[in-house]
Every structure is written in structure tokens, then in C-alpha cells.
């Protein structure tokens, strides 16, 4: 996947919208869990549940 950078504003409730193009590329759906990690550079990263974990959890239901 190529590097992508998009600037998003934080709304009055503290939310940031992940752009549709990125959600589609990463196969992120509404309600998917995310992890926000603060790095030494004070930036944050969101990590979504992997496709393999999703498939595994669906098979175990």
C-alpha cells in the first residue's frame, strides 16, 4: 500500500473521521475496534483488527 496523508479536523466532540478511501482500502467497518498509540513524537496511530482476526472470530461464533 502506498503512503497516504490526509488532514482531518477534530470535531467539537473530539472525533476524527477516517476518510472513506482509507476505510475502503483497510476494510474498516463501522464498529470495528481501534487502538490509538501515542508515540514519542506525539503523533497517534490507529490500528484496526486484522482481516485474519475477523475471519477467525466469525468462524468461532
Per residue in 24-58, pLDDT (tens digit) is 888 888 888 887 777 787 666 666 666 556 556 65
Mean pLDDT of 4-27: 88
Cβ–Cβ < 8 Å for 57, 51: no
Residue 12 pLDDT more than 90? yes
Structural domains in the chain (count): 1
Domain that holds residue 34: 29-59
36 in any annotated domain: yes
List, in sequence order, every residue forming a beta bridge with 46; answer none if it has no partner.
36
The DSSP letter of residue 16 is: -
List strand residue ranges (DSSP E) for the chain, in order: 34-38, 44-48
Instruction: Give residue 26's pLDDT.
Output: 80
Instruction: Give residue 5's pLDDT.
Output: 80
4 in any annotated domain: no
Mean pLDDT of 8-15: 93
17 in any annotated domain: no
54 in any annotated domain: yes
42 in any annotated domain: yes
24 in any annotated domain: no
The model carries a pTM of 0.56
Instruction: Give residue 10's pLDDT.
Output: 92
Q: What is the dihedral of CA 53, 57, 45, 14, to 10 degrees?
A: 170
Amino acid at each position: 500500500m502506498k503512503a497516504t496523508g490526509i488532514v482531518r479536523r477534530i470535531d467539537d466532540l473530539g472525533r476524527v473521521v477516517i476518510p472513506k478511501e482509507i476505510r475502503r482500502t483497510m476494510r474498516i467497518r463501522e464498529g470495528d475496534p481501534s487502538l490509538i498509540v501515542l508515540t514519542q513524537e506525539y503523533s497517534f496511530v490507529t490500528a484496526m483488527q486484522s482481516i485474519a482476526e475477523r475471519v477467525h472470530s466469525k468462524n468461532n461464533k
